[in-house]
Structures are given as C-alpha cells and as structure tokens.
Structure 1
Amino acid sequence: MKGLVCLLLLLEAFVCVIQHQVDGGLNENEISQQLRSEDGGQNTPQTDTLRYEASTDSQQNYHLFFTDIHAALRELTATVTEQKTNIRELTATVTEQKTINRELIATVTEQKTINRELIATVTEQKTNIRALETQLREQQTFILEEMNKKDDEISNLTLSQVEELRKENREREIAFSAGLIQSGSDYIGPFTSEITLSYRNVFTNIGNAYNPITGIFTAPLKGAYMFRISVFSHGPTHSAASIFKNGERVVLAYAGQPQSELNSSNGAVLILEVGDVVYVKLWSGTRIYDNDNSHSTFSGFLLFPLREQELCRM
C-alpha cells in the first residue's frame, strides 16, 4: 500500500515537471533561431516547413504523453481503491480471526485446567490404591504368619496328646438300642403296679452304658441325650410305658384298642449328669407284646457333651 502511494506521488511530480517544461519551454522564435544557426541561414522555406512540422510533432507527442499519464494514474487510483477495500476486508478477517483465536486460547486454557484437575485426581487415586495394596500385603503377611503358627501348633502335638484326644472321643461314643424279647414271642403284663422293663435283645450298646439285665441306662458323661420308646400289643387291651429319669416320669407312650393291633411311641432329649439313670416302666393294668420282629424297643444316644458353664446357662 505504501509503495503504491509513493508511486502515485512520483508520477504526479513528474507530470508537474513536464507541464512546467511545456509551459516555460522554447517558443517558435527560439526554435527558428536555433534552426537558423544550425542551417547557417540556408533554405529558409525548408526551415519554416521543418519548424512547423517539429512544432506539430512536439505538441502531438506531449498530448499523447499526458493522455497515457492520466490513464495510468486512473488505473493506479482504481488499483489503490481496490487495494484499500481488500485491506479493509483483510483487516476485518484478521480481527475476526483474532477473536476466534482468543476464544480458542480460552478454551485451551480451560481444558488445560480440567486436565490438571484430572491428573491430580488420578494421582490421588493411584496413591490410595498403593496404600490399599500395602494394607492388603500386610494383612496377607499377618494371615500367613498366623496360619504358620497354627500349623506349627498342630505339628507340635505329641503322640500322647493325640492318644488323649482319641480317648476323649471314644468316651463320647455312647449309643444303645434294644428290643424287649430276646427270642420267641410273649406278653408282659398286666401287673397291679408299675414295673421296670428289661429290654434284653440288645442291638447296639456302644460305651456299655445300658444294662440289659436291669433295663437301666447310666450316664457315663455329662451331656444331652436322646431317648425313644415304642410299645406294641393286640386288642382288646391297653399298652402304656413311660420313660423315667432318676425316678421321675418324663414322657408316656399309650395306646388302647378293642381289637386288632395297637402301637405307640414317644421320646425326649434329656440333660444328664454323670451317674444319672434312665429306664422304662410299664403302667399297671396294661400289657406289652414283642416277638422276633422287635415291635417294642428302647433306644438312646449321646447328642453332645456339656461343660459346667453350659449347664449353668441352661
């Protein structure tokens, strides 16, 4: 833009100089005198003709020169005007682009802030994860140490301790079951008073706590025991038998039938001290029947042993 303005100024100055030369230049007399001096005064008619032709050509040349200068100036002026318009458009575009750039810079700055916050959050999470991993490793180490201690304790058990545990377990193996009649078939009863029944057909007597001669079970171990009886007979009759603990009735199995077979059963869980006794009594005025099929039975077994404090809670 500055170059075009300088060019216009130079052209205007040149035009002014040419105009001044034309206005203050040689007149016809000077031209004629110059021609005469050159020709030495000879051929006056030709000189006049030449002087006229020279003057005419000079005027034509000046006119053409000024016409070209004005045309060039107009073109330059139009070009400068167009360049000014282009410059204004470029200026507007640059301004708009600067605004967009500022918005982009603001967006990038905001994004950088968000990225820094995310990086800080991720760093914090990594720190927390490392702390959790450290705690987990410590817990695993502690568990392994405890397991190794337990393994050492188990491996340090002596043969006497193992034997003692076996003995204790054998003492806890208490169970019996027996039928009323050892062989054949028979009725027992009726009697005018209750009698203790002796179940002589022993199926099982682990721990030998049941006496088939007396029909009495004696508790060798403090604990919770399960007992059960079944009674059977033929009508017309009544059959009734009760489980007793240390002389006290606990449960009764009773059945009455005018004809055909009759049966009943009952049971209970009892807490026994060492030496407590359990047995079955037949009611007075009733009878019970049994044969090789063992319809009438008495059974019991240890559910689990009890310690002294457990009995106190109960």
Structure 2
Amino acid sequence: MKISAIFPLLLLVCSVSTSVENTEVQVPYLQDIRALLREMTASLAQQKVEMRFLQRVNQEHATKLKQQKTEVTRQKTEIDKLNKQLQVKQVAFSASLLGAGSGDTGPFPTYTTLVFANVITDIGKAYNKHTGVFTAPVRGAYHFEWYIGTHGGPHASGAVLVKNSEHTFIAYEHQGSHYGSSSNGVTLLLEVGDDVFLRLWPHTKLFDNQNRHTTFSGHLLFTM
C-alpha cells in the first residue's frame, strides 16, 4: 500500500521538475528575441532618419541643380542678346535712285514710293533695294539723309521721308531754270520692324545719272 502511494507522488515530482526546466529554458530564449526586436526597431528607426536626411539632401541638390540650370539659361539668353545687339549695331546703308543710265523719275499725280536701286552700302542687310524700304532690325535711334534734284522747269523736286505711314521731313525745291537740288535729314527712334522709306511728292520729279545726284542713306546711331 505504501509503494502504491509513493509512485504517483514521484510522477508528480518529475512532472513539476520537467515543467520548471522548460520554463527556465524558454525565458532566456524570449529575452533574446525581445532584445533582437529592440535592436531591429532601433536600426529601422535609424534607417528612417538616414532616409529622411538623404531625401532632404537630394531635394536640396535637386533644387540647387534646378537653380543652376535656370541661371545657365538666363546667362545664355543674355549672351545671345548681347551678341545680337553687337551684330545689329553695325547697320548702315546708302543707295542712289537709278541702277543704270540717266533720266527723270516722275512726275506722278499721287505719292509714289521711291526705290533706290543702286545700293552702295548695306551693312546689316536692313535696306531692301527691291522695295526701297528700310526695316529697323533693333530698337534704337537712327539717322537718315536724302538728297534730291532736277533740272529747272515746270516741275519741282520733292521727296518726303515716311516712318511706317507717317510723313516726317521733306526735301523740296523748285526753280525755273538750271539744275536745282535740296536735302534734309532726321533722327528717328525706331522699334523693331518699323519701316522707313521715301515718297515722291505728287507732281514733282527727280533726276539721277551716273553721278548719283539723288540718294538715300541711313545708319543706326545707338540701340535703346
């Protein structure tokens, strides 16, 4: 009877002992996992901080690069503008009325655009010898001069300088005999694309020959 009672007691003691040993083994294992999780969490947090820092640095670099590109574009535009201004500062032309031969132009009953066909100088290519029109390539102050003349008789000689459609100054003379001449000049502020040309005054005439009596000239004084 005593032996039967002791055996279950031994089983209980062994069971309790085994449970205690398993618990003792599990506790350090769980602590290691928790420690590893803490390290991983700290590492992840550090990586997030580093990522935010790198993103901020990259954003600053991107912003700086964009500003540099904008500045390069601005400087290139300014250089192109200065180069263009340097080129268009060299604007001058001079032409006589007739390309060949001699004779009178006019008289006509209405205003008639004069085409100075014999071009002596056309620096900047702003004067059109086919239309007689000078077109301003740049905003600035331009000076123009024109000289006209004809032989005396019933018809005078007259030519008016026109800016776009506006009459500005006129050269005019009339005498009964011999050869008479007249001239005038004006400085105009022109915008890009403004046209300047000469019109023959109604009922007047002009004479020209190989000696170039009737001429039209102009040049850029300075840009504005």
Q: TM-score under structure 1 normalisation? A: 0.45
Letter of the 1:292 counterpart: Q
Counterpart residue number, 1:239: 157
Letter in 2 for 1:205: D
Segments ≥4 residues shifted beyond 4 Å: 160-167
Match of 1:176? 93
Q: Paired residue for 1:229?
A: 146
User: Greater Rg, structure 1 or structure 2?
Assistant: 1
Structure 1 SS opposite 2:142: strand
Look up the match of 1:288.
206
1:192 partnered with 2:109: yes
Once the two structures are TM-superposed, the CA of residue 241 in structure 1 deviates from its matched residue by: 0.5
Find the aligned partners of 1:216 and 1:270 in 2 and give their Cα distance.
Answer: 15
Relative contact order: is structure 1 or structure 2 higher (C-alpha 8 Å, sep ≥ 6)? 2
Q: Distance in 2 between matches of 1:216 and 1:164?
A: 25
Match of 1:217 among 134, 138, 142: 134
1:278 maps to 2:199:
no
- How much has 1:170 moved relative to structure 2? 1.4
Aligned position for 2:181: 263
Q: Match for 1:265: what amino acid?
A: S
The answer to whether structure 1 residue 206 and structure 2 residue 97 are counterparts is no
Distance 1:274 1:195 in 2: 24
Of the candidates 290, 297, 301, which is equivalent to residue 219 of structure 2? 301
Identical counterparts, % of pairs: 45
Deviations for 1:253-310, whole angstroms, at most 9, x for unmatched residues? 001010100000001000000011000000111100000111000111000000xxxx
Letter in 2 for 1:272: L
Change (3 A) 1:189 1:164: closer
Residue type of the alignment partner of 1:180 = L
Alpha-carbon separation, structure 1, partners of 2:98 and 2:200: 15
Matches of 1:217 and 1:163 in 2, distance apart?
A: 24
* Letter matched to residue 296 of structure 1: T
Count, aligned residues = 149
In 2, Cα distance between the equivalents of 1:161 and 1:253?
42
Structure 2 distance, partners of 1:302, 1:231, is 22
> Quick one: structure 1 residues 220 and 161, their matched pair in 2 at CA, closer, same or farther if it must change by over 3 Å?
closer
Of Structure 1 and Structure 2, the greater strand share is in: 2
What whole-Å deviation, never above 9, does each CA across 1:125-178 have from its counterpart, x for those lacking one?
xxxxxxxxxxxxxxxxxxxxxxxxxxxxxxxxx9x9988755531121111000
1: distance between equivalents of 2:112 and 2:164?
15
Gap regions ≥5 residues in structure 2: 1-74
> What is the identity, as a one-letter code, of the residue corresponding to 1:244?
V
1:116-155 correspondence runs (5 A): none
Q: State the SS of the aligned residue for 2:220.
A: strand
Aligned partner of 1:254: which letter?
Y
1:162 and 1:269 map into 2 onto residues whose CA distance is: 29
Letter in 1 for 2:158: A
| Corresponding residue SS for 1:169 | helix
- Higher-helix-fraction structure: 1
In structure 2, the residue corresponding to 1:292 is in which secondary structure?
coil
The answer for unaligned runs of 5 or more in structure 1 is 1-157, 307-314
Please tell me the root mean square deviation across aligned C-alpha atoms, in Å.
2.0
* SS of match in other structure, 2:180: strand
